[in-house]
Amino acid sequence: MQTPTQELQDLTAAAHAAVGPAAAASDAVRASWLLAIADALDANVAELVAIADSETRLGTARLTGEVARTTGQLRLFARVITEGSYLEAVIDHASPASTPPSPDLRRILRPVGPVAVFSASNFPFAFSVAGGDTASALAVGCPVIVKAHSGHLELSKRTAAIVSAALDDAGAPAGLFALVAGREAGTALVQDPLIKAVGFTGSIPGGRALFDLAVSRPEPIPFYGELGSLNPVVITPEALAARGSQLAAALAGSFTMGAGQFCTKPGLVFIPAGTRFGAEVAVECIGKGAAPMLTDRIAAAYPAGLASLAAQPGVTVLSGTTEQDAEAEGAAPVVFSTTAASVIARPAELLEECFGPTTLLIEYSDDAELSAALALVPGSLTATVHAEDGEDISGLVDQLTGLAGRVLFGGWPTGVSVNWAQQHGGPYPATTSLFTSVGATAVRRFQRPVAYQDAPEALLPEALREDNPLGVPRRVDGVLRLS
């Protein structure tokens, strides 16, 4: 399926025409659109899960839970916009006596305009047609055009039909939402002058190509891409001595979850040298059989990635085999081992993401070697530390904070809560921006600040009017007021 050029241009024109009505709609009205979508998806969950399972082979239990996460995201963003702080309303009253004299200035965040959203392969609901990017953009009044993922095209079409019907029934403006398909359509969508921002979840090569298109346009636009992440884990000698077997079991469960196809999979695990931890992880992987992967292309890439890593000097296969036919038989877990010294010598070869159920254990001899190896790890979505109470790990935490958007203590990174505090982003290549793609502040990606100077009261957005008719939190003359 390939959306024709003229049809795509008609859709972007319709989205552009919907900008005004969508931005003018009240927060309560836009919240009602999100709730209508959530209710419609919940009402059709059995049908949607069946289609998704036939295309992705993720299983009904996982997919049913993902629909619930997706509708939960929609309902969260409805609460976000009705609470009001997402507007970041600020008022500084005129101060003629200041030096220099200050005018009356009032600032608020406004929608950027039509947004292109690229669906992800590994989350056919939560990061797809009606996922977090779509929900957060619609929430703030941005029309959305979604580029369907080829790995679940039928699901994308059916989901889009449900979303469109729900929006129509809720009285949303025409052109607020649409779906396109095909690689060429995706490229054209990013280059279309009426598109004002892009949300993307996918591979580093694909995301980087689209990022380059977005910023090389005559009018460059922001590209919010989630690309690749190794998600390093550090285990201290004290933690390993205290609970090594427990950590081995939990690691095996985390890196094999979903056939290792989560963006937060722990791909690098730094462990003290000279322990039996690798052998314990290998034992925990016994019985964890092969699992189908999302697409034939992903399945074909997995054995190639394994073979590339196994061929590097200083790398040992502790568990599993690199000789796999993941397309026909599914992807089986593989545990590799190497040393921090090898990583320092060959970072480009050893610090390469392999999408699938595999992880690399990296033995370090002391804190200095650990720090030197961590300094070479690319930006990640998460970083995790396992230590015991009383250990001084402040320097380690500072280093992990510098390379990841979310730092975990004593847990495992697979599993991303959708709430007000979540940060799902990190230094490049984890993401191409500083903003999160999950949680309440995901809306900030699709807003731009506008200041009004000495504006007549009647022309101000309601959130900036003196009597605050919406009751939203605001900072007035430097003081935060909650209503």
Whether the Cβ atoms of residue 56 and residue 152 lie closer than 8 Å to each other: yes
Identify the residue whose tokens are 């796999």: 324
Residue with tokens 């200095």: 368
Question: Do 287 and 324 contact (CB within 8 A), yes or no?
Answer: no
Q: In one letter, which amino acid is 266?
A: P
* 226 carries an active-site annotation: yes
Residue 263 per-residue DSSP state: T
Q: In what order do the strands lie in the sheet with 115-118?
A: 177-180, 144-147, 115-118, 197-201, 223-226
DSSP assignments along 78-118, one per residue? HHHHHH-GGG-EEEE--BTTSSS-B--EEEEEEE-S-EEEE
Residue with tokens 């964890």: 288
Taking the C-alpha atoms of residue 393 and residue 395, their distance in angstroms, rounded to an integer, is 6
Catalytic residue among 226, 280, 363, 369: 226
CA 385/CA 405 separation, integer angstroms = 14
Backbone φ and ψ for 437, nearest 5 degrees, come out as -105, 0
Q: Go through the chain and tell me how many residues it has.
A: 483
The catalytic residue among 55, 66, 142, 263 is 263
CA distance 281 to 384: 17
Contact 463, 87 (CB under 8 A): yes
Which residue is associated with the tokens 């689209």?
210
Identity (one letter) of the amino acid at 281? V
How far apart CA 86 and CA 249 sit, in angstroms, is 41
In 3-state terms the chain splits into helix, strand, coil percentages (rounded to 5) of 45, 20, 35
Backbone conformation region of residue 96, classed left if phi is above 0, alpha if psi is from -120 to 50, else beta:
alpha
Look up tokens 């591979």; give the residue: 203
Task: Specify whether the CB–CB gap between 52 and 125 falls below 8 A.
Answer: yes
**Residue 164 CA to its chain's centroid (Å):** 24
The DSSP bridge pattern shows strands 380-386 and 232-235 to be parallel
Does the active-site annotation cover 466?
Answer: no
> DSSP label at 123?
-
The catalytic residues are 226, 263
